[in-house]
Amino acid sequence: MKTLVLTAEDIKTIARDIGLDRIMDETIAGLESALREYTATRYQSPMRGGFDYRSPAPGLIEWMPVMEDEQSATIKMVGYHPVNPAHRDLPTILSITLNIDVGTGHVNSVVDGTFATAVRTGAASAVASGVLAQPDSTTVGLVGCGAQAVTQLHALSRVFPVSGVLLFDIDAKAIASFAKRLSIVGLDKALRIQAATPDDIMKKSDIVCTQTSVAVGDPPVVNDVAALPHLHINAVGSDFPGKAELPASLLHRSLVCPDFTDQAIQEGECQQLEDDTLGPDLVELIQDSARFQGHRERTTVFDSTGWSLEDHVVNRVLVDHARRLGLGQQVRIETINEDPRSPYSGMTRLAGIAAADAREEQGS
Amino acid sequence: MKTLVLTAEDIKTIARDIGLDRIMDETIAGLESALREYTATRYQSPMRGGFDYRSPAPGLIEWMPVMEDEQSATIKMVGYHPVNPAHRDLPTILSITLNIDVGTGHVNSVVDGTFATAVRTGAASAVASGVLAQPDSTTVGLVGCGAQAVTQLHALSRVFPVSGVLLFDIDAKAIASFAKRLSIVGLDKALRIQAATPDDIMKKSDIVCTQTSVAVGDPPVVNDVAALPHLHINAVGSDFPGKAELPASLLHRSLVCPDFTDQAIQEGECQQLEDDTLGPDLVELIQDSARFQGHRERTTVFDSTGWSLEDHVVNRVLVDHARRLGLGQQVRIETINEDPRSPYSGMTRLAGIAAADAREEQGS
CA distance readout (Å), B54 to A73, A82, A136, A216: 15, 41, 48, 42
A298 min Cα distance to partner chain B (Å):
33
**Cβ–Cβ contact B138 with A under 8 A:** no
CA distance readout (Å), B145 to A180, B90, B301: 62, 15, 19
Alpha-carbon span B278 to B299, nearest angstrom: 14
> Is A355's pLDDT higher than 80?
no
pLDDT tens-digit map of A234-289: 999 977 888 899 999 999 999 999 999 999 999 999 999 998 899 999 999 999 99
Output the CA angle B15-B18-B22, nearest 5 degrees: 90
Average pLDDT, chain A: 94
**Cβ–Cβ contact A59 with B under 8 A:** yes
**B217 Cβ partners below 8 Å, 6+ apart?**
B242
Which residues in chain B touch residue A115, judged by CB atoms under 8 angstroms apart? Answer: 335, 343
> Is A360's pLDDT higher than 90?
no
Three-state helix/strand/coil letters over A158-209: HHCCCCEEEEECCCHHHHHCHHHHHHHHCHHHHCEEEECCHHHHHHHCCEEE
The percent of residues in chain A predicted with pLDDT above 70, rounded, is 96
Distance from chain centroid for Cα B328? 22
**B165 Cβ partners below 8 Å, 6+ apart?**
B139, B140, B141, B142, B153, B191, B192, B193, B194
> Is A364's pLDDT higher than 70?
no
Please, is B346 exposed, middle or buried when counting C-beta atoms within 10 Å of its C-beta (0-12, 13-18, 19+)?
Answer: middle
Question: pLDDT class for A346, splitting at 50, 70, 90?
Answer: confident
**Cβ–Cβ contact A90 with B under 8 A:** yes
The residue of chain A with its CA nearest to that of B87 is: A104
Of residues B51, B85, B342, nearest to A150 (C-beta): B342
Q: State the complex-level ipTM.
A: 0.93
DSSP classification of residue A227: -
pLDDT tens-digit map of A126-164: 999 999 999 999 999 999 999 999 999 999 999 999 999
Q: What is the pLDDT of residue B241?
A: 87
Of residues A19, A104, A112, nearest to B333 (C-beta): A112
A258 min Cα distance to partner chain B (Å):
23
Q: What is the pLDDT of residue A151?
A: 97
Q: What is the pLDDT of residue B355?
A: 65
pLDDT tens-digit map of A21-55: 999 999 999 999 999 999 999 999 999 999 999 99
Alpha-carbon span A149 to A208, nearest angstrom: 11
Alpha-carbon span A196 to A198, nearest angstrom: 7
**Cβ–Cβ contact B96 with A under 8 A:** yes
- Answer yes or no: do B181 and A110 touch at CB < 8 A: no
Under 8 Å between Cβ of A306 and A259: yes
A24, β-bridge pairs: none
DSSP letters, B269-331, are GGGGS-GGG----HHHHHHTHHHHGGGGGS-EEEE----HHHHHHHHHHHHHHHHHHT-SEEE
Under 8 Å between Cβ of B245 and B221: yes
Lowest mean pLDDT among A8-17, A47-56, A237-246, A301-310: A237-246
pLDDT tens-digit map of A280-290: 999 999 999 99
Q: What is the pLDDT of residue A348?
A: 85
Report residue B120: phi and psi, to 5°: -70, -30
Q: What is the pLDDT of residue A361?
A: 62
Distance from chain centroid for Cα A274? 26
**Element housing A249 (H / E):** helix A248-252
- Answer yes or no: do B177 and A17 touch at CB < 8 A: no
Buried b (16+ CB within 10 A) or exposed e, A158-184: bbbebeebbbbbeeeebbebbeebbeb
- B window 299-338, beta carbon within 8 A of A: 329, 331-338
DSSP classification of residue B191: S
Which residues in chain B touch residue A18, judged by CB atoms under 8 angstroms apart? Answer: 349
Under 8 Å between Cβ of A165 and A152: no
The residue of chain A with its CA nearest to that of B350 is: A16
Virtual torsion, Cα A195, A198, A201, A202, nearest 10 deg: 180
The residue of chain B with its CA nearest to that of A181 is: B342
Q: Can you say whether the dihedral through the CA atoms of B122, B124, B126, B129 is positive or negative?
A: negative
Segments in chain B below pLDDT 70 = 351-358, 360-364
Q: What is the pLDDT of residue B275?
A: 84
Of residues B77, B104, B119, nearest to A81 (C-beta): B104
**Cβ–Cβ contact A16 with B under 8 A:** yes
The residue of chain A with its CA nearest to that of B98 is: A77
- Answer yes or no: do B51 and A63 touch at CB < 8 A: no
- A window 103-122, beta carbon within 8 A of B: 103-107, 110-115, 118-119
Q: Can you say whether the dihedral through the CA atoms of A142, A148, A154, A157 is positive or negative?
A: negative
Under 8 Å between Cβ of A80 and A92: yes
Q: What is the pLDDT of residue B349?
A: 80
**Whether residue A56 has a cis bond before it, omega within 30° of 0:** yes
Please, is B186 exposed, middle or buried when counting C-beta atoms within 10 Å of its C-beta (0-12, 13-18, 19+)?
Answer: middle
Range A44-47 contact pairs with CB under 8 angstroms and sequence separation of 24 or more? A44/A69, A44/B51, A45/A260, A45/A307, A45/A308, A45/A309, A46/B49, A47/A260, A47/A262, A47/A263, A47/A266
A152 min Cα distance to partner chain B (Å):
11
